[in-house]
Amino acid sequence: MSAEPYEPVPYEPADVYRPRRSPGRESYDRALVHAILDEGMVAHVSYQGGHGPEIIPAFYVRHGEEVLVHLSRRAGLASALQAGTPFAFCVTHLDGLVLARSAFHHSMNYRSVIVHGVPREVTGEEKLRLFDLFIDKAVPGRSKEARPANGQEARATGVFALPLVHVVAKTRSGGPNDDAADMALPVWAGVIPLAMVRGEPIEDRVELAGNI
């Protein structure tokens, strides 16, 4: 994931996708976008389905200037993507609850990346090779330990690649932005940090019932 050389060229803002709110919270910085994407495990992807907008959570991994999305062939999204349907992709990390002196200025600290585009399906040898990236994202080196996917297993899973072209990061950090007139109110203000943590691994034994 970190093999490509550092690329200081920022992404190009696209007017049609530029978020309208809080322009100061946007960034097109490539290193920031990569860092946000590399930290997450699950993205939400959306597309226009036959009955209106659809949204699903999906496992993903960044690979250079693409994000790879891992989908069951049976999922509706896999069919939609094969047909060249455009989609919107979003990863969000929640970093804190921002408690202000006024109700209005309560907020959240977060880092998110939104990508728009039409994905391509990854197939053949490339697909088999890229499978390892998903496994190694969960636990580095893991792909060398587990039994590799066989042909039937590989066929059951779709891998779709979305180019990092129409990309924007949106972030908020720091304390509350209370109005000057509210600063003397006797109300606790500050940030409650939030973080995703990993617990102690639980080994699979008889007592860990398998899921369907």
Residue whose CB is less far from a copy of itself, 7 or 84:
84
The nearest distance, CB 84 to a copy of itself, in angstroms, is 12
Looking at residues 29 to 48 of the shown chain, list those that interact with a copy of itself (rule: CB under 8 A): 41-42, 44-48
Binding segment for a copy of itself (CB under 8 A), chosen from 31-39, 61-69, 106-114, 119-127, is 106-114
Which residues partner with 69 through β-bridges? 60, 160
The nearest distance, CB 20 to a copy of itself, in angstroms, is 5
- The residue from 37, 112, 161, 164 that contacts a copy of itself (CB under 8 A) is 112
In degrees to the nearest 10, what's the CA dihedral of 193, 196, 198, 204?
140
DSSP string across 2-24: --SPP--PPPPP-GGG---S-GG
Produce one character per residue of 17-42: b if its CB has 16 or more CB atoms within 10 Å, e if not.
Answer: eeeeeeeeebbbebebbbebbeebee
Contact between 130 and 159 under an 8 Å Cβ cutoff? The reply is yes
Residue 131, Cβ density class (10 Å: 0-12 exposed, 13-18 middle, ≥19 buried):
buried
The nearest distance, CB 16 to a copy of itself, in angstroms, is 4
Q: CA 158 from chain center: how many Å? A: 18
What would the x/- binding string for a copy of itself be over residues 152 to 181, using CB under 8 A? -xx-xx--------------xxxxxxx---
Residue whose CB is less far from a copy of itself, 9 or 212:
212
Looking at residues 119 to 138 of the shown chain, list those that interact with a copy of itself (rule: CB under 8 A): 131-132, 134-135, 138
74 near a copy of itself, rule: CB under 8 A? yes
